[in-house]
């Protein structure tokens, strides 16, 4: 059988070569070759470090072959595995001895009723693997700790920010527009918004760098997204005399599969800059279908503006964190210098590309290329369209409505009650999710028109409370609009809220005008 089965008619040279080979094998410290007779499992020959690898000798094995397994930790050691082996296929297994040593057993079918068991010390390989696994585990723990820290910091910062901005808003509502104190408050309000923007960008960038951004794959409508973008910016640009249009060119596809929120975030980042830097002229958003092949649509999203433009040398570094063209940009327009870096990373995660074209003092074009699978229109979830902020029914949509506000923070609860009451609503508060569920359960069916739910609360959190309300055996439990008001501001947090049965998610500090605009379609639906 190869190494150990030499003919009796072997030449002197063959015998001499075998002798030299045997001597070399006997000097091996990390290996052993053990010849076994298959019919009775008798050990015939051992070459190499049998004792060092098994803790037994050839003589001891010949007396009792099971002694080979006594030094191993597993119930089934190398000999037991060999005993159960069919002899038809090659087999390789690692075993750990009680002294910590790792030994590999290699079996292969033999000839003339004899098999060779190869035993190899693989302790170093296992140590290397264990060290790698330990480093990987430590890295995962560090990453999880970073994620937990970011989430906690977001919550701990946003909660007092909600109080500060809310108090400023309440104070402004009680003062004359032209008073000196009002001007101070408006400046403080502007500084609060800038601080919040900085916090948002830093947390978002940190989350991306930590690899904690997961892309969602769901069907959505491109035209519905375009309509939402039109409604978000039209009023502001119209008041400034700037033409604004969302165009669809060569679009034969509407429903696609992808991360709608992330794509919208990318376009909004470009649009926000266009709105900020354009004093006259136009801002346009173009959706264009470039190609349709293999069930995928190659799409182009372009944001064009006639703003201040950029110098050619700046375009090459625009997507670096904290990059702004010059100090005057930051001074005059604000911003953190992180928005573009975040946008670039998101597009890369989606497998896309960004192309930037700009002429200093004239215009800028930001173009995103993405390839998305095509979906059927039936797969797209129906969502209420955002109403125009200037419509009368939006301005007065809270009037006479019964709102259940679940909020454990006393200051934030007071702010919410004051603002909503000022909008004409009747507000009842609950200090945690459990109380909110109980109050809703005790109410007459249809009594509450809207539930606003904080997420992180004692006793029962907001998402659990939303699931409990949806599970109640009453019709309005399934239909009453429930919206999260949360200091958890990542897009992943919004998804968790929607998955819990909520209709939407508003991050703190709460923009109550945006809240009213977002909630209005659901209230109208209830009226119908």
Percent of the chain with pLDDT over 70: 85
Residue located via tokens 């509407």 = 254
pLDDT per position as a tens digit, 409-467 = 898 899 999 999 999 999 999 999 999 999 999 999 999 999 999 998 999 999 999 99
At residue 253, the pLDDT reads 94
| Residue pair 350/366 in contact by the 8 Å Cβ criterion | no
Tell whether the model's pLDDT for residue 396 goes beyond 90.
no
Any idea which fold 216-383 has?
Heat Shock Protein 90 (3.30.565)
pLDDT range class, residue 384, cuts 50, 70, 90? very low
| Residue pair 59/81 in contact by the 8 Å Cβ criterion | no
pLDDT range class, residue 10, cuts 50, 70, 90? very low
Residues 6+ away with beta carbon under 8 Å from 199: 154, 157, 158, 161
Position with higher pLDDT, 150 vs 338: 338
pLDDT range class, residue 7, cuts 50, 70, 90? very low
Low-confidence winner among 22-26, 100-104, 358-362, 428-432 (lowest mean pLDDT): 22-26
12-121: in CATH 3.30.450.20: yes
392-527: in CATH 3.40.50.2300: yes
At residue 1, the pLDDT reads 39
Tokens standing for 277? 């830097």
Q: What secondary structure letter does DSSP report for 524?
A: H
Q: State yes or no: cis peptide before 509, omega within 30 of 0.
A: yes
Residues 6+ away with beta carbon under 8 Å from 16: none
SS (H, E, C) 466-517: HHHHHCCCCHHHHHCCEEEEECCCCHHHHHHHHHCCCCEEEECCCCHHHHHH
At residue 439, the pLDDT reads 96
Low-confidence winner among 163-177, 280-294, 411-425, 477-491 (lowest mean pLDDT): 163-177
Position with higher pLDDT, 102 vs 158: 102
At residue 243, the pLDDT reads 95
Low-confidence winner among 238-247, 280-289, 386-395 (lowest mean pLDDT): 386-395
The whole-chain average pLDDT of the chain stands at: 84
At residue 287, the pLDDT reads 97
Neighbour tally for 10: CB within 10 Å: 12
Rounded to an integer, the average pLDDT of 151-175 is 78
- Is residue 75 helix, strand or coil? coil
Phi, psi (deg, nearest 5) at residue 527: -65, -35
Position with higher pLDDT, 85 vs 198: 85
pLDDT range class, residue 8, cuts 50, 70, 90? very low
Low-confidence winner among 92-101, 199-208, 225-234 (lowest mean pLDDT): 199-208
At residue 304, the pLDDT reads 96
Rounded to an integer, the average pLDDT of 465-487 is 93
Tell whether the model's pLDDT for residue 261 goes beyond 90.
no
Rounded to an integer, the average pLDDT of 72-85 is 90
Q: State yes or no: cis peptide before 352, omega within 30 of 0.
A: no
> Which range scores top for mean pLDDT: 41-45, 143-147, 302-306?
302-306
> Which range scores top for mean pLDDT: 206-220, 389-403, 422-436?
422-436
Q: Which of 341, 96, 406 is nearest to 202 (CA)?
A: 341
pLDDT per position as a tens digit, 11-60 = 555 556 555 555 555 556 789 999 999 888 899 999 889 999 999 999 99
At residue 391, the pLDDT reads 45
């Amino acid at each position: 059988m190869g190494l150990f089965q030499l003919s009796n008619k072997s030449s002197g040279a063959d015998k001499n070569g075998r002798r030299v080979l045997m001597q070399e094998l006997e000097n091996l410290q990390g290996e052993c070759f053990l010849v076994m007779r298959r019919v009775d499992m008798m050990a015939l020959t051992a070459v190499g470090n049998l004792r060092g690898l098994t803790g037994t000798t050839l003589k001891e094995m010949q007396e009792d072959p099971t002694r080979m397994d006594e030094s191993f930790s597993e119930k089934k050691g190398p000999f037991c595995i060999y005993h159960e082996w069919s002899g038809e296929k090659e087999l390789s297994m690692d075993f750990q001895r009680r002294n910590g040593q790792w030994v590999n057993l290699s079996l292969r079918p033999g000839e003339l009723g004899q098999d060779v068991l190869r035993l190899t010390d693989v302790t170093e390989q296992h140590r290397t693997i264990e060290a790698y696994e330990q480093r990987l585990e430590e890295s995962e723990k560090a990453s999880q700790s970073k994620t937990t820290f970011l989430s906690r910091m977001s919550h701990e910062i946003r909660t007092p920010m909600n109080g500060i901005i809310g108090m400023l808003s309440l104070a402004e509502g009680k003062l004359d527009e032209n008073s000196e104190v009002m001007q101070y408050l408006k400046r403080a309000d502007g500084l609060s918004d800038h601080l919040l923007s900085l916090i948002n960008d830093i947390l978002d960038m940190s989350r991306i760098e930590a690899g904690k951004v997961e892309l969602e794959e769901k069907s959505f409508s491109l035209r519905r997204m375009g309509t939402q973008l039109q409604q978000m910016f039209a009023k502001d640009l119209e008041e400034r005399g700037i033409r604004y249009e969302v165009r669809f060119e060569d679009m034969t596809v509407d429903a696609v599969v992808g991360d709608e929120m992330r794509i919208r975030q990318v376009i909004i980042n470009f649009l926000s800059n266009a709105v900020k830097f354009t004093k006259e002229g136009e801002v346009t958003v173009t959706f264009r279908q470039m190609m349709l092949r293999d069930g995928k649509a190659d799409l182009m999203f372009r944001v064009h503006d006639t703003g201040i433009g950029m110098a050619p040398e700046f375009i090459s570094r625009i997507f670096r964190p904290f990059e702004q063209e010059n100090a005057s940009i930051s001074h005059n327009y604000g911003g953190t210098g992180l928005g573009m870096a975040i946008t670039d990373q998101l597009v890369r995660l989606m497998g896309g590309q960004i192309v930037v074209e700009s002429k200093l003092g004239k215009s800028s074009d930001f173009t995103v290329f993405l390839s998305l699978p095509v979906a059927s229109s039936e797969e797209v979830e129906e969502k209420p369209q955002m109403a125009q902020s200037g419509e009368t029914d939006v301005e007065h949509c809270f009037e006479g409505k019964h709102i259940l506000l679940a909020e454990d923070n006393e200051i934030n609860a007071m702010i919410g009650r004051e603002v909503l009451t000022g909008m004409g609503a009747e507000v009842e508060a609950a200090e945690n999710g459990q109380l909110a569920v109980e109050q809703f359960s005790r109410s007459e069916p249809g009594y509450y028109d809207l539930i606003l739910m904080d997420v992180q609360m004692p006793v029962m959190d907001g998402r659990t409370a939303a699931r409990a309300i949806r599970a109640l055996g009453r019709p309005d439990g399934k239909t009453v609009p429930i919206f999260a008001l949360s200091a958890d501001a990542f897009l992943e947090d919004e998804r968790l809220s929607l998955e819990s049965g909520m209709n939407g998610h508003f991050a703190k500090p709460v923009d109550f005008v945006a809240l009213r605009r977002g909630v209005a379609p659901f209230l109208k639906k209830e009226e119908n």
